[in-house]
Amino acid sequence: MPRVSVLMTTYNGAAFIARSMDSVVSQTWRDFELIVVDDASTDATPGILSAYRDPRLRVIHHERNQGIVAARNTAFAAASGEFIAALDHDDLSHPARLQRQAAFLDANPDVVLLGTEVRLDSAGHHHAPDHPSAGDPLALRWLLLVDNPLTWSSVMFRADAVQRLGAFLRPDFELADDFDFYHRLLSIGEIARLDDVLTTYRFHATSASVHRAAELDAVAARILAASYADWLGSDAADAAELAVRHWLNRQAPRDAASLDRLGDILQRLLAGFCAANNPGSAAPDRIAALAGETWWRTVRSAIRTGSPRLISRYRAYPALSTDFRPTLADRVVSLAVAALRGGGLPV
């Protein structure tokens, strides 16, 4: 049996899937199987799959379209590998991806899921993702409260971790099923992310994250509300909706009251997280710096809507502004953008 099972699901993926499969077949790590579940495609996808020649490829066809969670669960049920790697039909694995991830999981038995850094490809234009670079387990535990720092197509996880959870992906959390999976895994082990770019995420208008964004946001808010409940109590649901809107989706708050609400939520989450995780002597400052980075990004987005005076709100929350310092260039550019948008300059 192969050590790694690569899971790919597809629905009408003819424009992308051949390159995605090629990126798996050309891996430096050879001990794998590639399981592709075709969720009843109506385009040329079945023909592409039937013509592909590699003994490590296994294709499963759904007779009717069942959705991405059902397709991913079908793929997982067919997998025999010790490690499970995910790759969507429109994304690319860089040649050393499987080798690097398998080696890391072998060396770190406490880590149950490992992502990689990614490169975003939008119509051939490449750029880095907008998230903090920290990828160690404690940082990932924190970042999963205020962002989604992992790309599904970059993750590799232990098959036996799913057995301990009792279920792989849950249909009730479709669209954010991966985000739900990460949060559930934190109950049994650690999550980490390699610093190196080993995955390309190809962003396009047919992505579910684009045309079903409202549904995705609602599910993500449910997941965060459950994670916030112990620390925020009755405020958890409202706080989770704000977190999805302003932190995961990067929407700018428009006034001081909105900023203060977000600052209060972030400060309470930071206090609860540090108390619950009992980090070592140097860790609180490091997690506070990550929280401060989120806080500055939130304030900066508000400033750049044309409200330069909102820069004063950054210092209003010392727990968030002490351990992270935005660069002078970032502050100057933010104020310049605000001035150009009609806000003048703060006095």
What does the pLDDT look like over 1-39, one tens digit per residue? 899 999 999 999 999 999 999 999 999 999 999 999 999
CA distances from 79 to 74, 85, 94, 169, 269 (A): 9, 10, 22, 14, 38
Strand pairing category for 190-203 and 83-86 = unpaired
Residue 49 lies in a domain: yes
**Which pLDDT value is given to residue 203?**
80
Which pair of structure tokens corresponds to residue 66? 């069942």
The token pair that represents 245 in the structure block? 């809107």
Residues of the chain with confidence (pLDDT) below 70: 204-211, 279-283, 343-347
In a domain, 255, yes or no: no
295 in a structural domain:
no
Indicate whether 149 belongs to any domain. Answer: yes
Residue whose pair of structure tokens reads 């790694």 in the numeric block? 4
Q: Is residue 57 part of a domain?
A: yes
Do the beta carbons of residue 84 and residue 8 sit within 8 Å? no
Look at residue 38 in the predicted model and tell me its pLDDT.
98
Residue 129 and residue 115 in contact, taking contact as beta carbons nearer than 8 Å: no
CATH code of 144's domain: 3.90.550.10
Task: Report pLDDT digits (tens) over 177-194.
Answer: 999 999 999 999 999 999
Q: Is residue 301 part of a domain?
A: no
**Whether 334 contacts 304, CB under 8 Å:** yes
In a domain, 240, yes or no: no
List the domain range (segments joined by +) for residue 116: 4-206
**pTM metric for this prediction:** 0.94
- Exposure string (b/e) for 267-280, b if CB count within 10 Å is 16 or more? bbbbeebbeeeebe
Predicted pLDDT of residue 281: 54
Domain count, the chain: 1
What are the pLDDT digits (tens) for 57-96? 999 999 999 999 999 999 999 999 999 999 999 999 999 9
Is residue 70 a contact partner of residue 107, using CB atoms and an 8 Å limit?
Answer: no
Which pLDDT score, from 0 to 100, does residue 47 have? 97
pLDDT (0 to 100) of residue 124 = 77
Interior/surface letters 3-38, b for 16+ CB within 10 angstroms, e for the rest: bbbbbbbbbbbbebbbebbebbbebebebbbbbbbb
